[in-house]
Amino acid sequence: MKVSIYRFDPDADEKAHLQDVEVELPEGRDLMVLDVLELAKSRDPSIAYRRSCREGVCGSDGMNINGKNGLACITPVSEAARGGKLVLRPLPGLPVIRDLVVDMSAFFRQYERVKPYLINDAPPPAEERLQSPEDRAKLDGLYECILCACCSTSCPSFWWNPDKFVGPAGLLQAYRFLADSRDTATEERLADLEDPFSVFRCRGIMNCVNACPRGLNPTRAIGKIRSMLLTEAT
């Protein structure tokens, strides 16, 4: 099988290019895209990419696979390479450090900005802060995010304004804490989001939902934040 891999070496190359690598696939067995990438690397050890868990948990091998963002380790080749060819590029919109490795600083700056931790200044109880099962259920579909950046790097609004628009991943986490019954900073959190960029740059085209390998729905969370902002203002 032919695999085209985006190559860029900042020390040697002026411009990036696609390199075709021929790999032997085992008969009668479907591989994950990451396996194919490992095979390609055994041919050409200079290919650089991030990976760790190889089971969709760590979020480090997010990349653009035949035009769609996803985790290489849990994307079957049979599904990704329908036309018999695999094209691997780095996540779009972030500066490329080398080959498939991107600089995620802009992504994590936005994550930091939403204060992704519980804020509650009340003295902690002796054991733990309790939450009813109903309140806990509100966090389902929010806490599972692994910060792989597949969503934010498929979002045009994030491409255009990565410094001002929080992006789907950050906003999903913003809502995760807005929705948490134990968090007491709701007002401050909302005040930080009401400018024309942070939330309102979302145009609702749902690229993020389409990309998320965990099946999460940032667009719905963004809608909920908007409603909270509206309710808060009226």
Residue ranges in contact with ligand SF4 by CB under 6 A: 145-151, 155, 157, 168-169, 172, 202-208, 211-212, 214, 216, 218-219, 222
Q: Which residues contact 2 (CB under 8 A, 6 or more apart)?
A: 20, 21, 22, 84, 85, 86
H runs (alpha helix) in 114-197? 133-137, 156-160, 167-178, 186-191
**Residue 145 contacts which entry, other proteins, ligand FES, ligand SF4, none (Cβ below 5-8 A, type-dependent):** ligand SF4
Nearer to ligand SF4, 185 or 222 (CB): 222
DSSP state of 72: G
From the list 181, 186, 184, the residue with the least C-alpha distance to 130 is 181
Nearer to ligand FES, 54 or 115 (CB): 54
Q: How many residues bind ligand FES (CB under 6 A)?
A: 12
What are the CA-CA distances from residue 67 to residues 92, 141, 143, 163 (Å)? 10, 25, 27, 24
Q: Is 78 in contact with 89 (CB distance < 8 Å)?
A: no
**Residue 155 contacts which entry, ligand SF4, other proteins, ligand FES, none (Cβ below 5-8 A, type-dependent):** ligand SF4
Residue 49 CB, nearest approach to ligand FES (Å): 10
Residue 213 CB, nearest approach to ligand FES (Å): 8
Interstrand relation of 96-98 and 62-65 (parallel, antiparallel or unpaired): unpaired
Residue 205 CB, nearest approach to ligand FES (Å): 25
199 binds other proteins (CB under 8 A): yes
Distance CA 29, CA 49 (A): 24
Interstrand relation of 85-89 and 2-7 (parallel, antiparallel or unpaired): parallel
User: In this structure, which amino acid lies at residue 4?
Assistant: S
230 binds other proteins (CB under 8 A): yes
Among 16, 19, 31, 51, binds ligand FES (CB under 6 A): 51
Q: How many Cα neighbours within 13 Å face the side chain of 45? A: 0
Angle between helices 218-233 and 167-178 (to 10 degrees): 60
52 binds ligand FES (CB under 6 A): yes
53 binds ligand FES (CB under 6 A): yes
**Residue 196 contacts which entry, other proteins, ligand SF4, ligand FES, none (Cβ below 5-8 A, type-dependent):** other proteins
Contacts with ligand FES by CB under 6 A lie at 51-54, 56-61, 71, 73
Contacts with other proteins by CB under 8 A lie at 156-157, 160-161, 164, 194-201, 226, 229-230, 233
